[in-house]
Amino acid sequence: MQFIKTGFKDLWLCEPRVFGDHRGYFFEAFNKEEFKQETGLEVEFVQQNESHSSKGVLRGLHLQQGDFAQAKFIRVLHGSVLDVVVDLRKDEPTFGKQYQVELTAENKRQLFVPRDFAHGFLVTSETATFVYSCDNFYAPEHELSLSFFDEKLGIELPLSKEELKLSRKDEEALKFDDVVKKLYG
């Protein structure tokens, strides 16, 4: 696995070594020891989630607060997404900044998102199957949604707003300043 620095502390883009032949392909998607050796981070995943969505589905930006925060290891099994994270760690120089990467079944890139980041994605293919492992259990009562559309974040999406499909929760997502107030008072 190749571990690529993103410019954000503990946020890693990972590119697996893919071995392919006439039968198909194989790659190691995650190795705890190699991950620790290369990143200096120790992580123990306790939950894995999968979603399947159609083009234009916009999920997020989601995060859980405090002791319920989650680190995530993300990849796309089918299709393509624009994956977006926002750093909400107040003491980091990247606080309030966003990072975007295209994750596809073809490029097999994976993203490790540390705790205290808001995370979301936009499906850019006709359909996409998205899987992510988490180091903490889902706790809906401790979840916040940050709006993709807050101008303060400067997130540019490759589809028009009319093409997007959002849940009610994501339509009602909070602005950055409101999320920061809930997190830090």
Tell me whether residue 28 is in a domain.
no
In the prediction, which pLDDT does 104 show? 98
**Whether pLDDT at 28 is above 90:** no
Tell me whether residue 13 is in a domain.
no
Residue 133 contacts residue 47 (beta carbons within 8 Å): yes
Average pLDDT over residues 36-41: 96
Query: Which position among 132, 138, 142, 184 bears the catalytic label?
Result: 132
Residue count of the chain, please give it. 185
Angle 151-74-16 from CA coordinates, rounded to 5°: 125
Tell me whether residue 38 is in a domain.
no
Which tens digits make up the pLDDT trace of 63-79?
A: 999 999 999 999 999 99
Residue 83: partners with Cβ closer than 8 Å, 6 or more residues away: 74, 100, 101, 102, 103, 111, 119, 120, 121
pLDDT category at 173 given cuts 50, 70, 90 is very high
Instruction: Mark whether 99 is an active-site residue.
Output: no
Tell me whether residue 31 is in a domain.
no
d(CA 65, CA 88): 10
pLDDT category at 157 given cuts 50, 70, 90 is very high
Tell me whether residue 128 is in a domain.
yes
User: pTM of the full predicted structure?
Assistant: 0.94
Which tens digits make up the pLDDT trace of 113-146?
A: 999 999 999 999 999 999 999 999 999 999 999 9
**Whether pLDDT at 8 is above 90:** yes
Query: Which position among 22, 25, 52, 62 bears the catalytic label?
Result: 62
Instruction: Mark whether 78 is an active-site residue.
Output: no
Tell me whether residue 22 is in a domain.
no
Helix (H/G/I), strand (E/B), else coil: 101: strand
What residue numbers bound the domain in which 166 lies?
A: 47-184
CATH number (domain holding residue 95): 2.60.120.10
Number of domains in the chain: 1
**Whether pLDDT at 45 is above 90:** yes
Tell me whether residue 6 is in a domain.
no
Tell me whether residue 30 is in a domain.
no
Average pLDDT over residues 155-181: 96
